[in-house]
Structure 1
Amino acid sequence: MIKAIVFDWAGTTVDYGSQAPIIAFQQAFESFGITVPTAEIRADLGLDKLDHVKKIMAKPDVQDKWREKHPNDSISQAVDQIYRRFQTEIVQVLAKTSQLKSGLVELVAYCQQRGIKYASTTGYTSEMLGHVIPLAAKQGYTPEINVTSDLTNGIGRPNPDMLLYAMDKMGVEGPHSVIKVGDTVNDILEGKAAHAITVGVVEGGNLIGLTEDEYNSLSIAKQNSLKNRAITILENAGADYVIDNLQDLINLISAIDTDQKYEPQPAPILLTPGPLTTSPVVKKQMLVDHGTWDDEYKADTQAVRQALLKLANVSSANYTAVLMQGSGTFAVESTIGTAVPKQSAVLMIAINGAYGQRMAQIADYLDIKHVDLNFREDEITDWHQIKRALDAHPEVPYFAIVHCETTTG
């Protein structure tokens, strides 16, 4: 039974796209003449903000820029100066980015109805968070306790100290009845370290990193692509569950409390010829719709065609590759039917199973002369036998073999 939820702040409950820390960090560094790419900042969001500054300043290229701009100040002095400037910048930004994310008010009402306690942990300091709490309260979000690393001897994420502190203050025993919700890898690591149930939030989170208007302006296919990337990162970090938005957490809590699986039961491993079983990564990518006339799709198609010519070691001046959709047998038939002349050539086929036999049947159907070299289904085709057969049949310029015979299992 779920007894408590511990939320993150920026990117999870407020500040769609987790914009405030990015803006403040960039402005703080820019004030000292140093430009830090957004991606570098986002990579470590969720850390205590002083630790975050230290991590950025630990990068050799950033240190080189600092020494170039401020040769008389040490790196430790740089950390102090930039962190102080960040504290000033973040206060100004927070007032503009503390809008609650969609679904939070409904989730809070659900928690209150069911007696589920809720608290927060954050990478912000108590002073920074002090500017956000009253703004959130006016919108209906008032966590029972808000924990910063100021309350845990400076120990923040990815360590579990803040989460464990929140549990203690709420009087909740047993981390398996607590859900930790966040939008960053460090949120998930914090929850895992405390042995809580970890839930990653995708939409409006740091890993997508767009404002709501920017995200809504994208095509559905692009949105799905970004969400799938974020899901993969959160799952690789160890998230027990990943949800699109906060309102989805209501159904997840209900499922956990009734011992139901939130995710569908995994599909069985298919042993039929194909193979047909695909990995979760492949399945997720297949959820993204692609338009065959999109420039990106056309570019991918041309790249595959050129790669096939390179694989065949032929020039695009004399050959072209045409992509055709169909089964493996379809591909084999199209290759034999177009690559082997019917009148003037002989095809040798090394047969060690059903697909080799099918090659012979295709050759018969297409009136292509062929010499068959037979092996047992459980026997590896022997190169020495094949070479002797080729030497004995100098009229053979074409050779076919099944790289991996499916029927062997």
Structure 2
Amino acid sequence: MQRYQHLEAVIFDWAGTVVDFGSFAPTQVLIDVFAEIGITVSMAEARVPMGLAKWDHIQALGRLPGVAERWQARFGRAMNDTDVDRLYQQFMPLQVARVGEYSAPIPGAIDTVNLLRQRGLKIGSCSGYPRVVMDRLLPLAAAAGYAPDHTVATDDLAAGGRPGPWMALDNVIELAVSDVRHCVKVDDTAPGIAEGLRAGMWTVGLSASGNAVGLTAEKWSALSPAHQAEYRAPAEAQLTTAGAHYVVDTIAELPAVLMQIEARLAAGERP
């Protein structure tokens, strides 16, 4: 088995990256929470701030023009931080209760992670989920065959979450990685790509399995190649614009990308 000579670790996002093809767990719960107070939020709107910590996600969602207009019509004023706090308190128990419904590994994820381990890489992870949700998700993922060496939740660190570099860098410390340039951050959202770039890492965006396409694995597989291309193009553009060094459909394509990064490192290139 060929081992990497330069790469030391891969740091994965969770929903839309390793589990939950289409990243439905956060978005559907947010839609339901807003509906409870009489505000309609579309799936497309709920996906716009994806990758942020969930309090920040709710705040950003309330600032979208369409949602802000509906909020103003419903309550006669703009959303404020107290409203965000209240929605977050409603969101959390629902997210904890329902995250298991969307915890299935993305096709190819377990085999890919096992291959990377065999090639000598450490496996880190971080998420826009808070710790209470991660504590629910971690044992479910482990039972399905995925147990990263380290996991950081968005509220674990005093510095905060994405798009800052801190969760990715916490993985560097805990995994005892010697050089951030020997790390690859894999994510399906622009804030997650920004996180990796700000941490000085190589970044790989996942288009088909992630938030921007937003389809189940079954619906994605049922599309013709032409229709897949239509869905893929805006997702690729979003991730490329965010600065991703590479963009592929799913985690199953990652090993080939890592070989390219390894070759670039050997040639003296840096992220």
**Same fold (TM > 0.5):** yes
Q: What is the alpha-carbon distance in structure 2 between the residues aligned to residue 156 and residue 23 of structure 1?
A: 22
CA contact 2:184–2:203 (8 Å) conserved in 1 = yes
Residue 110 of structure 1 is matched in structure 2 by 115
Residue 243 of structure 2 is matched in structure 1 by 238
How far does the alpha carbon of each residue in 1:133-183 deviate from its partner, in whole angstroms, 9 at most, with x for none? 111000111011111232221511111011111111111132110000001
Residue 214 of structure 2 is matched in structure 1 by 209
Offset at residue 77 of structure 1 (A) = 2.4
Moved more, 216-225 or 201-210: 216-225
Q: What is the alpha-carbon distance in structure 2 between the residues aligned to residue 227 and residue 62 of structure 1?
A: 26
Decide which of 7, 10, 13 is 1:5's aligned counterpart. 10
Residue 52 of structure 1 is matched in structure 2 by 57
With the length of structure 2 as denominator, give the TM-score of the two structures. Answer: 0.90
Decide which of 92, 103, 106 is 1:101's aligned counterpart. 106
Q: What is the alpha-carbon distance in structure 2 between the residues aligned to residue 113 and residue 248 of structure 1?
A: 16
| Secondary structure at 2:215 match in 1 | coil
Q: What is the alpha-carbon distance in structure 1 between the residues aligned to residue 251 and residue 63 of structure 2?
A: 35
How far does the alpha carbon of each residue in 1:314-346 deviate from its partner, in whole angstroms, 9 at most, with x for none? xxxxxxxxxxxxxxxxxxxxxxxxxxxxxxxxx
Instruction: Determine what percentage of the aligned residue pairs are the same residue.
Output: 34
Q: What is the alpha-carbon distance in structure 2 between the residues aligned to residue 61 and residue 221 of structure 1?
A: 31
Cα separation, partners in 2 of 1:35 and 1:180, compared to 1, 3 Å? same
Cα separation, partners in 2 of 1:218 and 1:73, compared to 1, 3 Å? closer
Q: What is the alpha-carbon distance in structure 2 between the residues aligned to residue 123 and residue 205 of structure 1?
A: 14
Cα separation, partners in 2 of 1:245 and 1:89, compared to 1, 3 Å? same
After superposition, residues 2-401 of structure 1 pair within 5 angstroms as 2-59=7-64, 61-70=66-75, 75-153=80-158, 155-259=160-264
Cα separation, partners in 2 of 1:231 and 1:97, compared to 1, 3 Å? same
Cα separation, partners in 2 of 1:258 and 1:88, compared to 1, 3 Å? same
Gaps of 5+ in 1: 262-409
With CA pairs under 8 Å and 6+ residues apart, which has the higher RCO, 1 or 2?
2
CA contact 1:105–1:141 (8 Å) conserved in 2 = yes
CA contact 1:11–1:206 (8 Å) conserved in 2 = yes
Aligned-partner residue type, residue 196 of structure 2: G
Residue 3 of structure 2 is matched in structure 1 by none
Offset at residue 45 of structure 1 (A) = 0.3
Q: CA RMSD in A?
A: 2.0
Offset at residue 205 of structure 1 (A) = 0.9
How many residue pairs match? The answer is 261
How far does the alpha carbon of each residue in 1:177-204 deviate from its partner, in whole angstroms, 9 at most, with x for none? 0000001111111111111000011221
Aligned-partner residue type, residue 141 of structure 1: Y
Aligned-partner residue type, residue 50 of structure 2: L
CA contact 2:13–2:127 (8 Å) conserved in 1 = yes
Q: What is the alpha-carbon distance in structure 2 between the residues aligned to residue 108 and residue 18 of structure 1?
A: 19
Max Rg structure: 1
With the length of structure 1 as denominator, give the TM-score of the two structures. Answer: 0.61
CA contact 1:63–1:75 (8 Å) conserved in 2 = no
